[in-house]
Amino acid sequence: MGVMLVLMLPLLLLGISGLLFIYQEVSRLWSKSAVQNKVVVITDALSELGKECARLFHTGGARLVLCGKNWEKLESLYDSLISVADPSKTFTPKLVLLDLSDISCVQDVAKEVLDCYGCVDILINNASVKVKGPAHKISLELDRKIMNANYLGPITLTKVLLPNMISRRTGQIVLVNSIQGKFGLPFRTAYAASKHAALGFFDCLRAEVEEYDVVVSTVSPVFIRSHHAHPERGNWSASIWKFFSRKLTQGEHPVEVAEEVMSTVRRRKQEVLMANPIPRAAVYIRALFPEFFFAVVACGVKDRLSVPGEG
């Protein structure tokens, strides 16, 4: 009996590996069919996440509209996509200069896209501007810039493209947001406020457009780290905040987030929270035990202010 078990174990492992491979291949083909021939607009396509989304959706056969603030970098992204994809199975991406913090140009860009393709099937609101510092040291002008880029810009673009989706009774809007749309952290007042506002808008919009078969999705990672980011090493004193903060700041790799965005589009999911157990639990602690949550966060601020050089 023991010998048979030993002989069957490799076969069992081989069978499981084969099933996993088949599942991955089916998922990959399913993802491609979900975006093939679809007009997909990606804002801030020059960010790490934007580039990864562009790569996935381009190889999937989407008609890409890549938005960014730098024309030379957009052309470089264009060349990298064209060089690795099969031209017989992909479409030439359209490049568009767009700075979402400049609200006056957003409507013109949206109309340009509609004039080019006649519709937009999928809008990926990816653009995001970050700032970190004490609230009283951040100017109102910077507050406005953050709010324009993270909130007013995306909703302006959405509002211009939305009537087309409603009239066609199809479409999907994906907001790449942040866990700070769920709760705020110290020294990120402007950023957290903009993410709260964006999440509130798109949560309301989801209910409004459901009857038109337009899907509104939010993908909220803890944060998106760069390809070469290393774990943060500080000299904070030992505390509960130290444990909490380090777990909270372990962000997602751009490739992982891009794959989740593709999965969200394919499965038409409404809300995705990309977080390990600690920040995921923090969302519920903030809702159920706010006083405890605020005490932990305040403790972290005191620890940081007590460290020389971290005023």
Question: From first to last of its 311 residues, what are the pLDDT tens digits of the chain?
Answer: 565 666 666 666 677 766 655 655 555 544 456 899 999 999 999 999 999 999 999 999 999 999 999 999 999 999 999 998 788 889 999 999 999 988 889 999 999 999 999 999 999 999 888 888 899 999 999 999 999 999 999 999 999 999 999 999 999 999 999 999 999 888 999 999 999 999 999 999 999 999 999 999 999 998 887 655 444 444 444 455 555 555 455 678 899 999 999 999 999 999 999 988 888 899 999 999 999 988 888 886 765 554 444 33
pLDDT in tens, 82-114: 998 788 889 999 999 999 988 889 999 999 999
Burial 91-107 (b: 16+ CB within 10 A, else e): eebbbbebbbbeeeebe
pLDDT in tens, 156-181: 999 999 999 999 999 999 999 999 99
Which residue do the tokens 């996993």 mark? 20
191 is catalytic: yes
Q: Alpha carbon of 221 to those of 80, 122, 191, 261: distances in Å? A: 26, 20, 14, 11
Rounded to a whole number, what is the distance in angstroms from the first to the last CA of the chain?
Answer: 68
Q: How far is CA 244 from the centre of its chain?
A: 23
Which of the following is catalytic: 23, 191, 212, 284? 191
For residue 86, count other CB atoms closer than 10 A to its CB.
8
In contact, 43 and 154? CB cutoff 8 Å: yes
- The length of the chain, given as a count of residues: 311
What does pTM read for this prediction?
0.81
Closest CA to 39 of 265, 267, 271: 265
Q: Please report the domains of the chain, with CATH numbers, ordered by start residue.
A: 31-231+252-275 (3.40.50.720)
